[in-house]
Amino acid sequence: MKKLNLFISMFFVFSILFVSQTPAQTVWKMAFVAPPPVWGPIAEKYGQIIAQKTNNQFQIKWFGGGQLGSLPQILAGIKTGQVDMILCDLASLAIAKGGKDFNVIFAPYVFRDQDHLRKTLASPVYKEMVEKVEKEGGFKYIGYVSDRAPRQITTTNRRVTKLEDLKGLKIRVPEIKIIMETMKAWGTAPTPLAASELYTALKQGVVEGQDNGFDSVAQAKYYEVQKYVIVVDYVRSGLIVLMAAEHWNKLNPDQKRIFQEAAGDTEKWATKWTNDSVDESIDILKKNGMEIIYPDLGPFKKLAAEANKKFEGDLWEKGLFDKIQAVK
């Protein structure tokens, strides 16, 4: 009996020593505003890679659909410590303090294609943009984690085969100056409207069209209230991960490397997943009766360029658009 008690006592002591030497798990909240089915899988993948690479020392718990607030609130929260990490669109940095130049991401056709966007992300031009917004925004830019589908136009009853066919079209757009100006230049009547109200507005005829990627159109079931997709590929972007600066500054060099490498590992999976989702979405739209139209983009690009010039030196630093265009 004495031996048994001794064994139990020793086991208890060793258990305490083991637990005391095991690093405590750090749980961080990652926020994003998109619906969970849209960005949730990407946030989940990033968290899984972090857990694996840190032997579960770090756990990323994500909150989608704006559970932790609107985008401005989330960006403010990362600076005050209420939010630990953010998954957001690259262009979202335009509303962060010091991020004015990121308005250029919304400029139609600033990127020739997705490869041009990726080369821009690796350029000194982009590095300068990031360093400025990091300093003033109170966060660390961790990395790029996924391509996004380019924005297209869908319409209810209007078959658009050329630019002139857009004239007078009531189209819902996000409340972004350069996008609204471009739509005006294309002859439409741009109408800002909350995304949550869009389906009903399309169904009731309040607006006749909208702009989004193929995947978003399918996920929101706009095919139930829209007939045509006009492929214009006019705005391109991707998803990024940000971390509160106070957290980043407390990480050791190996941990910093892991968080950044995890972004690259996530991107390899997420971009393929996104592209596959786009292909699947196109099939869904076709099966549900939508016609996909490929107009001549020459006239679209010409008028978009004129609209972009109006904001040069205002929404973004003068000459920045041309610097990005020059990236090869």
Gap between the Cα atoms of 15 and 321, Å rounded:
61
pLDDT for 5 equals: 52
User: In percent, how much of the chain has pLDDT > 70?
Assistant: 93
**207 or 33, which is more confident:** 207
Single-letter amino acid, residue 249 = N
Q: How confident is the model at residue 13 (pLDDT cuts 50, 70, 90)?
A: very low
> Looking at residues 200-215, what average pLDDT do you find?
96
Q: Does the pLDDT at position 236 exceed 70?
A: yes
Minimum mean pLDDT among 9-18, 147-156, 202-211: which range? 9-18
Gap between the Cα atoms of 105 and 87, Å rounded:
17
Beta bridge partners of 230: 153, 293
pLDDT for 15 equals: 43
Q: Does the pLDDT at position 6 exceed 50?
A: no
Single-letter amino acid, residue 56 = N
Q: Find how far residue 296's CA is from the centre of its chain.
A: 28
> Looking at residues 222-246, what average pLDDT do you find?
97
Q: Does the pLDDT at position 312 exceed 80?
A: yes
Annotate the chain with three-state secondary structure. Answer: CHHHHHHHHHHHHHHHHHHHHCCCCEEEEEECCCCHHHHHHHHHHHHHHHHHHCCCCEEEEEECCCCCCCHHHHHHHHHHCCCCEEEEEHHHHHHCCCCHHHHHHHCCCCCCCHHHHHHHHCCHHHHHHHHHHHHHHCEEEEEEEEECCCCEEEECCCCCCCHHHHCCCEEEECCCHHHHHHHHHCCCEEEECCHHHHHHHHHHCCCCEEEECHHHHHHCCHHHCCCEEECCCCCCCEEEEEEEHHHHHHCCHHHHHHHHHHHHHHHHHHHHHHHHHHHHHHHHHHHCCCEEECCCCHHHHHHHHHHHHCCECCCECCCHHHHHHCCC
Q: Average pLDDT of the chain? A: 91
pLDDT tens digits for 270-311? 999 999 999 999 999 999 999 999 999 999 999 999 999 999
> Looking at residues 120-129, what average pLDDT do you find?
96
**Full-model pTM:** 0.86
Query: Going from the N-terminus, what domains does the chain have, and what CATH number goes with each?
Result: 24-148+237-283 (3.40.190.170), 152-235+290-312 (3.40.190.10)
Beta bridge partners of 59: 27
* Structure-block tokens of residue 154: 């869908």
> Looking at residues 193-212, what average pLDDT do you find?
92
Minimum mean pLDDT among 23-37, 75-89, 179-193, 236-250: which range? 23-37
